[in-house]
Amino acid sequence: MNILQVLPELNVGGVERGTVDLAVYLLDHGHASVVVSNGGSMVAALQAHGVKHYSLPVHRKNFFIAWQCVKDLRRIIREEKIDIVHARSRVPAWIAWLATRKTEAQFVTTCHGYYSQNVMSRIMGWGKRVIVISEVVGRHMIDHFGVHPENIRLIPRSVDLEKFKFRARQPGRSSVVVSIIGRITPLKGHAYFLQGMAKVIRLMPFVRVRVIGDAPSSKKDYKNSLLLLVRRLGITDNVEFMGNRADIPELLQDTDILVLSTVTQEAFGRVLIEAQAVGVPVIATKVGGVVDIVTHEQTGLLVLPRDPEGMAVAVMRLINDGKLADAMAIEARRGVEKKYTLEQMASKTIAVYDEVRSAASILVIKLGAVGDIILSSPAFKALRQQFPHARIYCLTGQPGAALMHGCPYVDDVVVYDHKGKDKGPSGFWRMIKELNKYHFDKVIDFQNNTRSHLLAALCFPRFSYGYANKKMGRLLTDGIPDDQTHLPPVAHQFRILEKLGIIYDDDFLLEMWPRRDDHDFALKLLHDQWIDEKNHIIVGINISASDRWPSKNWPLASLAELCDRLAADGIRVLITGMDKDRALARQLALRTKSKPALIIGKTNILQLAALVARCRVFITPDSAPLHVASAMKVPVVALFGPTDPRRHIPPGKVSVLTKEMSCRPCYQSRCRMAVQACLKDITAYEVYLKVKEILKESDPGA
């Protein structure tokens, strides 16, 4: 793999040391390793190991500088053929995330801090995988940044045991060295530490205190206040401010006790495991991720934050009790070897990279009616074949959710009830927030309307595909013109999939996935109508199209005549329909001499599929049951009037009956001539002959 890590600078610090350690490890284990930063004192060490470094001002918050960095970083990603971009800080993360757009590089973050909740910090939760360095940071990212738990990976910081070698305590020394290591900021609690050490020094004047680390430029006044505090406490001769140091392993070798005095949620505390690796007993405030590292009385001592008295007592206890100090040092070293080695951190990180590389996430948007969802089933199958390891999601409405939950080609279904609980702008934004948890690489928009184009764009995928119709179509990264409107619906969808290397062929048929209980329910319905599928020839008829399309309905008189003709040949007729069709079904029953089985409003879509599967032939106008029958591989006689069968006919055994007229296809919900001749001219006898022809083809001896 080709890995690029990006961070603000490469000066002394825990994040910086971890970056260098991982970069070198990657290179030593056969991966290409690149680091981008604003430079710093550790660049030379990085390059000495052969790691490539690019200097960019990725630490700057200036918009124009950052935007130029986006362009430069994208160029580096392409030139170095980067697979993974790993961001370790917020400003570089924004630059890295934008740079990975329209590239195949995956974006990963590591949360090194307990971030405040603001727009700037949000980016740290946008990685395809979000690495956290402690459990408390992981919970923080889930609870306050909305990161999906599936995307969190816990990988603690590490220590290179080759550099931080264990050494036994050295009794009999004339002085005891107590060190604090870290940036000099109020959050690190240096003032409380110095107050505590003043109490120790009054009783034990042989104690020497080392303050290792320096203040950033914005905190120089705070450092000056600490220098003043040391003078006021009268411990100037015992305290040494050593500034930033690159020789931390050597300094720890000469330290007797390490103190971490952080007063806020500490994300982890890398210096603790470095000290434990060397065998230095540690004292730490009980905050944040520290409790993951230090077990009180076993691997160190925990004190309350902002408690100089408690800190002083703990230090004096370790000075006076050498056996306790030795026991904790040995136990702490075992813990480091077990959980915090460089090998463990690096191998777990590489495992995350492998996981991200092979786990693309794809969202398919299809918010239409049930029939439209069924028409998308070949596309889902093709996507699964093309991307066998990807996680594929379907965004659909309530009607399509029940159907898609049984689909073997999708990993999950996201329901967008835009006519119900998700209605209006607030519901729309709630849905956007939910979708952004999945960090989709590709979004395929089969709905192709203003709402779906906005949804696709606001998921912020690398690539989005669909028909670039209307103004919002410009939001698609890879939109295509909708200039072949007479294609059949499945072929029309596959034109979009061609952008992903998927070519349509006749093997892609419609599918539905009724469960065992759906089939049992269908058999019971037949049994209640005294119909035996083994001994009866069953022909199903869908009584009408949706309320929106009365112009699609075949005349009731023709339907009644067909029922009687089929019944005269010993064929059992099923009439299917929805609740809205009950009155129409009663009228049909009054018009027929035979008594067809009226299955009206008794099934959901999957139960209907199981029922239709028992039919030898199914007859329907242009409506969802046409697609149901096709999906269940049942021969269909489709009656087309105001719509064009070329645009709506599904693949499969479908026989189309229609009449050529100058006014059709009109796509009007009601006939403007008020005669509906396009369907009225399709006679019952014509349909009857087509049914007999299909039955004879399927069973020549019948």
Domain layout of the chain by residue ranges: 2-154, 176-340, 360-500, 516-698
Tell me if residue 191 falls in helix, strand or coil: helix
Which residue in 348, 443, 459, 456 sits closest to 390, CA to CA?
443
Residues 83-113 have pLDDT tens digits of 999 999 999 999 999 999 888 899 999 998 8
Whether the pTM exceeds 0.85: the reply is no
Band of residue 301 on the pLDDT scale cut at 50, 70, 90: very high
Which pLDDT score, from 0 to 100, does residue 652 have? 87
Count CB-CB contacts under 10 A for residue 425. 7
Question: Side by side, which strands form the sheet with 2-6?
Answer: 52-55, 32-37, 2-6, 84-87, 106-111, 129-132, 152-154
Dihedral of alpha carbons 166, 168, 170, 171, sign: positive
Which pLDDT score, from 0 to 100, does residue 701 have? 60
Which residue in 612, 537, 528 sits closest to 571, CA to CA?
537
**Residue 484 CB-density burial (10 A; 0-12 exposed, 13-18 middle, 19+ buried):** exposed
Band of residue 69 on the pLDDT scale cut at 50, 70, 90: very high
To the nearest whole percent, how much of the chain has pLDDT over 90?
A: 69
**Mean pLDDT within 411-416:** 92
pLDDT at 548 over 90: no
Query: 360-500: which CATH topology?
Result: Rossmann fold (3.40.50)
Tell me if residue 611 falls in helix, strand or coil: helix
Q: Is 516-698 in the same CATH topology as 360-500?
A: yes
C-alpha to C-alpha distance for 215 and 420, rounded to whole angstroms: 55
Count CB-CB contacts under 10 A for residue 100. 24
C-alpha to C-alpha distance for 3 and 85, rounded to whole angstroms: 6
Residues 438-467 have pLDDT tens digits of 889 999 999 989 999 999 999 999 899 999
8 A C-beta contact, residue 267 and residue 136? yes
Which pLDDT score, from 0 to 100, does residue 676 have? 72
To the nearest whole percent, how much of the chain has pLDDT over 70?
A: 99
**Residue 39 CB-density burial (10 A; 0-12 exposed, 13-18 middle, 19+ buried):** middle
Which pLDDT score, from 0 to 100, does residue 412 have? 92
The answer, yes or no, to whether the previous bond of 665 is cis (omega within 30 of 0) is: yes
SS (H, E, C) 527-584: HHCCCCCCCCCEEEEECCCCCCCHHHCCCHHHHHHHHHHHHHCCCEEEEEECHHHHHH
Structure tokens belonging to residue 34? 């690149």
Which pLDDT score, from 0 to 100, does residue 146 have? 87
Instruction: State how far the alpha carbon of 282 is from the alpha carbons of 296, 328, 391, in Å.
Output: 10, 9, 45
Which pLDDT score, from 0 to 100, does residue 217 have? 83
In CATH, 2-154 is 3.40.50.2000: yes
Which pLDDT score, from 0 to 100, does residue 700 have? 63
Domain 176-340: give its CATH code. 3.40.50.2000
Question: What letter would DSSP give residue 633?
Answer: T
8 A C-beta contact, residue 464 and residue 476? yes
pLDDT at 34 over 80: yes
Which pLDDT score, from 0 to 100, does residue 675 have? 63
8 A C-beta contact, residue 610 and residue 490? no
Which pLDDT score, from 0 to 100, does residue 172 have? 64
Residues 214-246 have pLDDT tens digits of 998 888 999 999 999 999 999 999 999 999 988
Letter for the amino acid at 480?
I
Contacting residues for 426 by C-beta, under 8 A, at least 6 apart: none
8 A C-beta contact, residue 106 and residue 85? yes
In CATH, 516-698 is 3.30.360.10: no
Residues 598-624 have pLDDT tens digits of 999 999 999 999 999 999 999 999 999
The phi, psi pair for 602, rounded to 5°, reads -105, -5
- Treating both helix axes as pointing N-terminal to C-terminal, what angle do 322-339 and 270-278 enclose, rounded to 10 degrees? 120
Question: What letter would DSSP give residue 664?
Answer: -
